[in-house]
Amino acid sequence: MCAPIPMWRFLSKAMAFVMLLSVLPQWAQALPAFARQTGQNCVACHAGGQFPELTPYGRMFKMTGYTIGRNVIPLSVMGVVSDSSVNNTSKSPDPRADFQKNNSLIFATGSVFAAGRLTDNIGMFLQWTYDNYGSQSADGKFHGHSNADNMDVRYADRFVSADHDFLYGVSVNNNPSVSDPWNTAAAWMQYVPVPSPTSSRFIDGATPYPGLAAGGNIAGITAYAFWDKLLYIEVGNYRTAKGALSPFSAGIAKDSKTKLQGNNPYGRIALCHEWGPHNAMVGATAMNAKVYDDPLDTSDARSVHRFRDVGIDAQYQYLLDPHSITLQLAYVRETHRYPYFLAGQPVQDVDGNPLPDTNAIDKTRTFRIKSSYIYDAKYGVSLAFFNLTGTTNSAAYDPTPTSGNISGSPAARGLTPEIFWMPVQYLRVGLQYTIYNKYNGAGHNYDGAGRNARDNNSLFFYLWAAY
C-alpha cells in the first residue's frame, strides 16, 4: 500500500511525466489488450478516446464477442491515482474518520484484465480489481484487498450480406447490463473508480446513478440479438454466483456476497440509428431481483428484498474527427419491497420521539443526464446532472454526523462538471467538481448535526492509466 505524499510534489512530477508522454509520436502502439488485438488506436472503439464509452464500431466489436482481430496475449493492467477534497470538513466530530485521506494523493485502485478473442466466436472480458484501501483494521491501518470485478464471456455469430445483417450472441457474466454495448447501461454509466477512503464518499462516482439493485458479483446468462443495426434485444437470468461460477464473486467476503433467491430475470431493448456522423439510441431495461437480507442465512425464503427496476435510456453521439460530442440520459424507477421483519417496525428519533413505522415498500426514481465534448481525442469537458427522489422511510433515519439522514428521504441532486486530458491514449488525467444541492433528503442540516448538502461538494483529481 502506498503512503500518501504531498500533492504538490506529486503533481509536479506527474506533470513532467505527462508532458514527456505528450511529445511521443501519436501512433505509439502502447495499448491495452483489445487495441493490441485489433492493432487500432483506442479512438476506433471509444468515442473521442474516452474510455469506456463506445463508438458504433466499438459496440460491434463487443457484440461480436471481442473476436475482431488476431490472437494476442490477452492481458492488460489499469491503475488509478487520485485525490479527493471535501468542501467542508469542519462539521464533524471526527474529521480523520469522516474524511480519510482528504487532500492526499493516493494509489486508489488497480485492475488486471484478461480480455480478448479466444476462438472465431468466443471472447472474454475478465476484470480483477485490487482496492488499495479495501479494509481497515481497528488501529486505523488500511489493508489492500482484491476481488472479481466485471466479467463477461460470450459466444457470438453474425450473418451479414448486402440484404441483411443479423448478429446474435450468448453472454455469461456477473453483472446485469455489463454485457450491454451502450454506456447508459447501469453497469457502465458510472466508470471512474471510486476510492474507498471516506473522503471520496461524495465524489461523482458515489452520487446516485441509475442502476439495477441486484448489483454485481452474481452469475447470469443472457442471449442477445442485433438486427440490421436497428433493433437490439437481450434477455437473461441471474442467480447467485456459486459452484462452477463462484469465480464471478471470488474475493468478496461471505457477509458481503449478494445471495439471490431463485431466478432473477433481466431484459433490454434498444432502437438505434446512424446517419452521417450522428448516431442515436433509445432503449429500456427491466430487472426483477430477490436478494436475501442476510447472505449468511438464507434459510428463510421470506427473508428477501424484492426489487423491480424499470429504466429508460438514450444516447446521442456526433463523431467526426477531431470532434466528439456525446449526450447520455438514463432514468430508473425502482420498487423495493422489504422482508416482513423490516416492514412496519417502530422507530424513534434521537430524542426518543416516535417516528412513523418503517415502510413495507419504497420507490425511488434516479435520473442522470450527461453531455461531453472531446477535441482531437485529447481535451475533454463534460457536465452531468443527477437527481434522486424517493419515498421517505423511517428506516433510513440516522442521526450520525456527516453520513446521517434525519429526514428519511434518499433525495439527492447536483451537478458535476469535469475537464480531462489524454496526453497519450492510455493515460487520462481528470478533474471533477461535484456540487450538491440536496443530500440525504435535504439541502440544509441533512444529518441533524448542522451539515448542509453543499458542505459535501467535492473536488476529485484522478490519473488513470492502462496498458
Partner 1 sequence: MKGNGKLVLVFGIAFATGCTNLPRSRDLGNPNVAGITLAQQVCSNCHGVTGASVSPNIPNLAAQQPPYIAAQLKLFRSQGRRDPAGFEYMWGISRTLTDKQIDELATYYAAQTLPTQQPDSSVASIEAGKPIFNEGIADKQVPPCGSCHGPHGRGNGNFPRIGGQHADYIVKQLGVFQRTDQRPEGAVMKTVAHKLTPSDIAGVAAYLQAMPIE
Residue selected from 277, 354, 356, 450 as contacting partner 1 according to rule CB under 8 A: 277
* Residues from 320 through 349 that contact partner 1 (CB under 8 A): 320-321
Q: Residue 187 or residue 219: which is nearer to partner 1 going by CB? A: 219
Q: Among the candidate windows 88-96, 129-137, 155-163, 181-189, which touches partner 1 by CB under 8 A?
A: 155-163
Say how far apart CA 153 and CA 171 lie, in whole Å. 6
Q: Of 202-210, 313-321, 335-343, 364-372, which part binds partner 1 (CB under 8 A)?
A: 313-321
165 touches partner 1 (CB under 8 A): yes
Residues 71-130 that bind partner 1 (CB under 8 A): 71, 117-122
Pick from 276, 302, 351, 352 the residue near partner 1 by CB under 8 A: 276
Cell 442521526 locates to: 399
For position 61 contacting partner 1 by CB under 8 A, the verdict is: yes
Single out the residue of 161, 255, 299, 353 in contact with partner 1 (rule: CB under 8 A).
Answer: 161
Task: Choose which of 21, 30, 44, 415 interacts with partner 1 (CB under 8 A).
Answer: 44
User: C-alpha cell of 225?
Assistant: 440479438
Q: Residue 33: name the closest of 64, 78, 81 by CA.
A: 78
Q: What angle do CA 328, 203, 193 make, to 5 degrees?
A: 75
Q: Given candidates 50, 54, 67, 366, which one binds partner 1 under the rule CB under 8 A?
A: 67
How far apart, in Å, are the Cα atoms of 128 and each of 62, 108, 110, 147? 19, 14, 9, 6
Backbone phi, psi, residue 378, to 5°? -130, -50
* Cα dihedral 466/40/228/232 (nearest 10): 0
What is the closest distance, in whole angstroms, from the C-beta atom of residue 313 to partner 1 in the complex?
22
Nearer to partner 1, 67 or 102 (CB): 67
Could you give the CA distance from residue 265 to residue 304 in angstroms, rounded to a whole number? 16
Kindly tell me which residue out of 32, 48, 69, 110 binds partner 1, with binding defined by CB under 8 A. Answer: 69
Closer Cβ to partner 1, 49 or 404, answer by number: 49
CB 319 to partner 1: min, Å: 6
Instruction: Tell me: does residue 271 bind partner 1 (CB under 8 A).
Output: no
Question: Binding partner 1 by CB under 8 A: which of 160, 361, 381, 419?
Answer: 160
Q: Give, as ranges, the residues between 425 and 464 that touch partner 1 (CB under 8 A).
A: none
Task: Supply the minimum distance, in Å, between the C-beta of residue 37 and partner 1.
Answer: 8
Longest CA span, the chain: 73
157 contributes a contact to partner 1 by CB under 8 A: yes
Tell me: does residue 176 bind partner 1 (CB under 8 A).
Answer: no
Q: What is the per-residue DSSP string for 176-219?
A: TTTT-SSTTSTTTS--SPPPSSGGGTTSGGGS-----TT-SS-E
Beta bridge partners of 318: 278, 325
C-alpha cell at 59: 459496440
Say which amino acid occupies 396: A
Q: Select the residue interacting with partner 1 from 57, 191, 379, 433 (CB under 8 A).
A: 57
Sole residue written with cell 488501529: 139
CA–CA separation, 325 and 382 (whole Å):
10
> Which of 172, 291, 422, 463 is close enough to bind partner 1 by CB under 8 A?
172
- Binding residue for partner 1 (CB under 8 A) from 1, 5, 17, 26? 26
Helix (H, G, I), strand (E, B) or coil at 232: strand
Inter-residue contact 55 to 47 (CB < 8 Å): yes
Which amino acid appears at position 323 of this protein? Answer: H
Instruction: Tell me: does residue 230 bind partner 1 (CB under 8 A).
Output: no
Residue with cell 433510513: 396
CB 175 within 8 A of CB 241: no
136 binds partner 1 (CB under 8 A): no
40 near partner 1, judged by CB under 8 A? yes
Helix (H, G, I), strand (E, B) or coil at 35: helix
Interacting span for partner 1 (CB under 8 A) from 36-44, 75-83, 307-315, 363-371: 36-44
Binding site for partner 1 (CB under 8 A): 26-27, 35, 38-41, 43-44, 56-57, 60-61, 64, 67-71, 117-122, 153, 155, 157-162, 165, 170, 172, 219, 221, 239, 241-245, 274-277, 319-321
